[in-house]
Structure 1
Amino acid sequence: MRVISLVPSITETLFDLGLSTDEIVGRTKFCIHPENLVDKVELIGGTKNLNIDKIKSLKPDLIIANKEENIKEQVEELMKDLKVLVTNIETLEDNYYLIKQLGHIFGKEEKAQFFNLRTYEAFDIPKPEKRLKVAYLIWKNPYMTIGGDTFISRILEELGFENLFKNQKRYPEVQLEDLKEADLIFLSSEPFPFKEKHIEEFKEVCLNQKIMIVDGEAFSWYGTHLAKCGEYYRELLTEIKQ
């Protein structure tokens, strides 16, 4: 089967399940894992600016898209001529069924079960005794955080945290003053590449909060990526206890 992935985390998942570069014939420029294999796959644009003609020329049997990461109109255009599977991942349970579904489609059920078990093991770790409030920042200029209806917020909850902005929707803009009620401020490494140098800006206003750079992929990449984050989560929770 010839498959094109329009989603970075799904591209990684397909390779993890055992698909080859002969089967995965197209991917976006943001599909960066696994590094040693993605370079052998044809580029078909970005997640939100797909090269429709290029995709059609590759004659895929299946295209895998995502409700949030891809543009509805572009996906609908592809649906006119090609088979498209549109995914929508909001919870760990959704993630479980995504991996199971992909395992079934490609005859990789055993691999799918392995990664699902590893994912549950990744979250089966001692949680903080107190449910700390976290402000999770994804963007700068303007500062943007995550609402309670996002996958990132669900991952925070699974790790025993409370999203400070859980009562808001999607990705609201915030001011530094809004972060003062948080116990922790997480600055994500993506989509905005927060670095240690940015912490000083927050410290000028947020005097009582612990401010940390966190691996954005460990909170926002679904599919098999979560199965590889167990050690990272353990180290993160240990660091917070100190």
Structure 2
Amino acid sequence: MPTRVVDAAGIEHAKAQHAARIVSLVPSITELLFALKLDAQIVGRTGFCVHPRDKVRRVPKVGGTKAVKIDAVRALQPTHVIVNIDENERETVEQLRALVPHVVVTHPLTPGDNFALYALLGAIFDRDDEALELSVQLQTQLDACATREWPQQNVLYAIWREPWMTVARDTYISAMLRLVNWQTLPDLRGGETGAARYPSFDLDAAWLARADRVLLSSEPYRFTQQHCDALGHDTRFAGKRIELIDGEMVSWYGSRAIDGIAYLVDYASR
């Protein structure tokens, strides 16, 4: 692996010292750090960093992904803070740059971007072997998915209600769904950052007529069977398959992507 690596913001990072102290502000990254066997160096996390459940309990919380308690981070004296372009506010990241020696920015947009993510963190924190093993497991899942023929379906993937919100086609979620040839509606791209990546929509939108499936995610809004039933009784959704989907499995990158692809293959096969 190279002695210096570049993160999603184009910033180079040298290999960390063995005494590195890591604060993760990204739930899926926190899980990945544990998968890379960095348990002893993880000193802070958000309240949304809940996996692996048996290990994160001992790690202090520093607020939420979009409500980071800067003083709490400072008190932990981290050498590294890991952030994500979608998950964390730019203003927060800039405040952290003034306090923390190394702010590592991540921004995976497709399942295949996990290879670079594993390599990035593996190189910085001297976990190259562990990163390689994750890459092998990810490739196995991608290969297994690619051997199947998936009929194309148009899907609405809902992440919120009041207002209703979905995902643009250049998001990680949409790219995950394309592995099984599910094309998210509406057909739009939101750019690399900003609210347009997760647009709001009206249930009267004309493009909804093209949806074959309606997927109600378990996060960030926790949809329930009651929501499925309500849409099922709405004449605008007559004839459409409406079901719940595990948002963690579809939207979490990092090590979760390995199980997430297997979950999606099974889900799409039903």
Structure 2 counterpart of 1:132, one-letter code: Q
Is the partner of 2:112 in helix, strand or coil? helix
1:162 aligns with 2:183: yes
1:116 aligns with 2:147: no
What does residue 29 of structure 1 align with?
Answer: 47
Counterparts of 1:121 and 1:143, CA distance in 2: 36
Deviation, 1:128, is: 4.9
Structure 1 counterpart of 2:23, one-letter code: I
Q: Structure 1, residues 93-136: CA drift from partner, whole Å, max 9, x if none? A: 32210111111111111111111222222232254542111110
1:15 aligns with 2:6: no
**Cα pair 2:150 2:180 within 8 Å, conserved:** no
Select the residue among 114, 119, 139 that pairs with 2:160.
Answer: 139
The equivalences for 1:171-186 within 5 A come to 171-178=198-205, 179-186=208-215
What does residue 71 of structure 1 align with?
Answer: 89
What is the TM-score of this pair, normalised by structure 1?
A: 0.93
Number of aligned pairs? 238
**Cα pair 1:7 1:65 within 8 Å, conserved:** yes
**Cα pair 1:176 1:202 within 8 Å, conserved:** no
Deviation, 1:137, is: 0.5
Counterparts of 2:181 and 2:151, CA distance in 1: 8
What is the TM-score of this pair, normalised by structure 2?
A: 0.84
Flag the 1:72–1:202 CA change in 2: closer, same or farther, 3 A.
same
What does residue 5 of structure 1 align with?
Answer: 24
**Cα pair 2:165 2:198 within 8 Å, conserved:** yes
Counterparts of 2:149 and 2:204, CA distance in 1: 25
- Show structure 1 runs of 5+ residues with no match: none
**Cα pair 2:250 2:264 within 8 Å, conserved:** no
Counterparts of 1:129 and 1:7, CA distance in 2: 32
Q: Give the superposed CA RMSD.
A: 1.4
**Cα pair 1:184 1:211 within 8 Å, conserved:** yes
Counterparts of 2:251 and 2:148, CA distance in 1: 19
* Runs of at least 4 residues off by over 4 Å: none
1:210 aligns with 2:210: no
State, as a whole percentage, how many aligned pairs show the same letter: 37
1:104 aligns with 2:131: no
Counterparts of 1:7 and 1:68, CA distance in 2: 10
**Cα pair 1:127 1:160 within 8 Å, conserved:** no
**Cα pair 1:182 1:209 within 8 Å, conserved:** yes
What does residue 5 of structure 2 align with?
Answer: none
Is the partner of 1:92 in helix, strand or coil? coil
Is the partner of 2:49 in helix, strand or coil? coil
Deviation, 1:208, is: 1.3
- Show structure 2 runs of 5+ residues with no match: 1-19, 191-196
Deviation, 1:229, is: 2.4
Structure 2 counterpart of 1:154, one-letter code: A
Counterparts of 1:25 and 1:159, CA distance in 2: 38
Counterparts of 1:56 and 1:195, CA distance in 2: 38
1:234 aligns with 2:265: yes
Structure 2 counterpart of 1:228, one-letter code: D
**Cα pair 1:122 1:229 within 8 Å, conserved:** no
**Cα pair 1:146 1:171 within 8 Å, conserved:** yes
Structure 2 counterpart of 1:214, one-letter code: I
Select the residue among 193, 201, 225 that pairs with 2:230.
Answer: 201
Is the partner of 1:167 in helix, strand or coil? coil
Deviation, 1:196, is: 1.0
Flag the 1:151–1:129 CA change in 2: closer, same or farther, 3 A.
closer
Structure 2 counterpart of 1:174, one-letter code: F
Higher mean displacement: 29-38 or 125-134: 125-134
